[in-house]
Structure 1
């Protein structure tokens, strides 16, 4: 059933867009915090965490690929990781701003980026079935549906 009401670009008329904008803003904040944490802590804590994960998985951090992985964690790679996180945070913040303002480009960006995660969500369900994997898939499917629906309404205008 289609509505004869004209499309309203007011973001408050679209609570789904506002909710997704807040979700994306939260991702941006987390990315910025993670980048700051990397820069403040440096490579040593990251090496310790990865070392503990290798031990927990039953690997040997002193030999083979794990040794190479630990050797790659340097101040330069930590700076690179922090820069990537800042870039990701800026992208999410830009998307959040655009969705909050009900911009079509932001709906496109959000729809495409959420859809790119779907294969990973399905893989996570296969490898680690559980409520968290299913919840993540459901959220991403809902985001794609809301944004695709918004784009469809804009196209019909």
Structure 2
């Protein structure tokens, strides 16, 4: 009996495994967050928003936080948990694909990271600081690595 072992694509970028680990962590955290939302329900979430309103002395009847507090219901928590679960599963599938050096995963990761860039750049201008710049740099690096992987494999 011959042992079948995983042979990675020799044309794949070596950074794929690093990105795969990060994506797996993001996916696992999202699945945990979705589970927490489902298990705990709306009460702790509502309590947390109320604490933020009190801490920052916000108007409890007007503004974004007041809208958020009023929008929290069992139905909205189920909907949010479903969205977060979907997000987590997509990242876990992407991580698996990147770990296995699948071309479709490089496409998925490149497009997903590129989709975040306009929001990241917006954050740099409206919330300047080293963290905003680091996030843009990291997403640009991911887009570059995955894009380079795709170009390298096409040759």
Q: Is the TM value for this pair above 0.5?
A: yes
Give 1:52 shift: 2.6
Q: Does 1:15 align with 2:14?
A: yes
Q: Does 1:88 align with 2:87?
A: yes
Deviations 1:8-34 (A, max 9, x none): 7159x6330000000100000110111
Change over 3 Å in CA distance of 1:63–1:144 after alignment to 2:
closer
111-120 vs 130-139, greater mean Cα deviation:
130-139
Residue matched to 1:48: 47
Residue matched to 2:35: 36
Residue matched to 2:143: 144
Change over 3 Å in CA distance of 1:64–1:129 after alignment to 2:
closer
Give 1:118 shift: 0.5
The answer to whether the 8 A contact 2:94-2:105 is kept is yes
Change over 3 Å in CA distance of 1:128–1:14 after alignment to 2:
same
Give 1:46 shift: 0.9
Query: Could you say what the CA RMSD is over the residues aligned between the two structures, in angstroms?
Result: 1.9
Deviations 1:52-87 (A, max 9, x none): 333444421135665443222111111111111110
Structure 2's unaligned 5+ residue stretches are 1-7
Aligned length: 148
The answer to whether the 8 A contact 2:49-2:65 is kept is no
Residue matched to 2:103: 104
Secondary structure, in 3 states, of the residue corresponding to 2:98?
helix
What is the CA–CA distance in structure 2 between the aligned matches of 1:64 and 1:19, rounded to whole Å?
Answer: 41
Give 1:49 shift: 1.7
Structure 1's unaligned 5+ residue stretches are 1-7
Greater than 6 Å deviation, 4+ residue runs: none
Q: What's the TM-score, normalizing by structure 1? A: 0.85
Deviations 1:78-97 (A, max 9, x none): 11111111100110011001
Deviations 1:100-126 (A, max 9, x none): 011110000000000000011111111
